[in-house]
């Protein structure tokens, strides 16, 4: 008689966790795919209802994207806009984070800079497009400065808010243990402020995409904003859709890369994005 032994021992916790993570990942991918299919379906129905003169269909948009990619227009536009966004946004972070730390920590600096921050952050970058072109010309500098302008105040506000949100008891405890001001900044303030900095960086990235279109419409020959404006002048609705969708995809990719890099680089601070 053959005896069959059935292993009824429970699976290790690590295996159960891995299986649960895999199921959640598959579910997330499935929901993303379903959302995209539904979006394309609604898009196709709108195109059928309004006609190609108002709404380009997914097939027409894909065909136009192939044509623009074939002659290099789409690739050159993506590269030009990406370069301007990354430079202006990077400069905004480079200035905004230290300024936000100073504003949040030092009262006199906050009192000196707060009136200017509160004044300029309510003026949209598009209001300065004409001045930027007059002062800096139609080259790269005017676009980069506008993106820097739209980024820096968001980063300053989020960073300073993170600094001022640090618990006073933590600061007193660190000081009572003999920590210097620099050690308190590095060991207490900065780890607590990192989530606010990352949030400010993501918001600033979104505003950079808003600004680049208006800047390139006024003063650029190459770029996604210039592509959209040129398409409008030629009455090519399908090209306009290509430019708009490319902006959305590019922004999604940039934000996703930022989240991944920030999560890995700042995991030692306990930041989860």
Write down the pLDDT at residue 75.
93
pLDDT in tens, 42-74: 999 999 989 888 899 999 999 999 999 999 889
Span between the terminal Cα atoms of the chain, in Å? 58
Write down the pLDDT at residue 14.
67
Reference 121, options 96, 150, 101; nearest CA is 150
Same domain? 19 vs 121: no
Same domain? 254 vs 135: yes
How large a percentage of the chain has pLDDT more than 90?
41
Same domain? 141 vs 113: yes
Same domain? 60 vs 26: no
Same domain? 153 vs 26: no
The span from the CA of 221 to the CA of 204, in Å, is 25
Same domain? 27 vs 151: no
Q: Which sign, positive or negative, has the C-alpha torsion 201, 207, 213, 219?
A: negative
The span from the CA of 16 to the CA of 27, in Å, is 16
**Does residue 3 belong to any structural domain of this protein?**
no
**Does residue 195 belong to any structural domain of this protein?**
yes
pLDDT in tens, 128-147: 888 888 888 888 888 999 99
Question: Domain total for the chain?
Answer: 2
Same domain? 46 vs 62: no
Does residue 7 carry a pLDDT above 60? no
**Does residue 6 belong to any structural domain of this protein?**
no
**Does residue 39 belong to any structural domain of this protein?**
yes
Average pLDDT over all residues of the chain: 85
Is 219 within 8 Å of 138 (Cβ atoms)?
yes
pLDDT in tens, 162-175: 888 877 777 677 76
Give residue 1's pLDDT band: very low, low, confident or very high (50, 70, 90). very low
Reference 62, options 54, 51, 74, 80; nearest CA is 74
**Does residue 207 belong to any structural domain of this protein?**
yes
Same domain? 116 vs 248: yes
Does residue 5 carry a pLDDT above 70? no
- In eight-state DSSP terms, residue 221 is S
Same domain? 149 vs 186: yes
pLDDT in tens, 82-123: 999 999 999 999 999 999 999 988 889 889 999 998 899 899
**Does residue 5 belong to any structural domain of this protein?**
no
Reference 214, options 121, 92, 130; nearest CA is 130
Write down the pLDDT at residue 44.
92
Is 244 within 8 Å of 228 (Cβ atoms)?
yes
Total residues belonging to the chain: 273
pTM of the predicted model as reported, rounded to 2 decimal places: 0.83
Same domain? 72 vs 131: yes
Range of the domain at 62: 56-269
**Does residue 174 belong to any structural domain of this protein?**
yes
Same domain? 89 vs 206: yes
Same domain? 43 vs 157: no
């Amino acid at each position: 008689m053959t005896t069959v032994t059935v292993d009824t021992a429970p699976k290790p916790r690590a295996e159960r966790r891995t299986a649960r993570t895999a199921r959640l990942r598959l579910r997330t991918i499935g929901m993303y795919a379903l959302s995209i299919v539904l979006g394309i379906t609604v898009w196709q129905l709108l195109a059928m209802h309004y006609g190609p003169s108002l709404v380009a269909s997914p097939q027409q948009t894909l065909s136009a994207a192939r044509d623009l990619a074939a002659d290099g227009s789409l690739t050159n536009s993506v590269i030009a806009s990406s370069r301007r966004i990354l430079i202006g946004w990077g400069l905004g972070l480079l200035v905004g984070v230290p300024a936000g730390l100073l504003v949040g920590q030092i009262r006199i600096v906050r009192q000196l800079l707060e009136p200017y921050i509160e004044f300029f952050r309510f003026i949209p970058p598009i209001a300065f497009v004409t001045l930027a072109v007059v002062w800096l010309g139609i080259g790269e500098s005017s676009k980069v400065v506008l993106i820097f302008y739209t980024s820096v105040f968001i980063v300053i506000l989020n960073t300073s808010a993170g600094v001022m949100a640090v618990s006073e008891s933590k600061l007193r405890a660190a000081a009572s243990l003999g920590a210097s001001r620099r050690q308190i900044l590095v060991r207490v303030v900065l780890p607590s402020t990192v989530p606010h900095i990352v949030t400010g960086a993501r918001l600033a990235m979104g505003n950079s995409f808003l600004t680049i279109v208006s800047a390139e419409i006024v003063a650029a020959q190459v770029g996604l904003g210039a592509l959209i404006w040129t398409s409008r002048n030629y009455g090519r609705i399908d090209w306009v859709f290509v430019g708009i969708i490319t902006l959305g995809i590019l922004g999604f990719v940039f934000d996703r890369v930022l989240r991944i890099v920030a999560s890995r680089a700042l995991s030692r601070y306990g930041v989860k994005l």
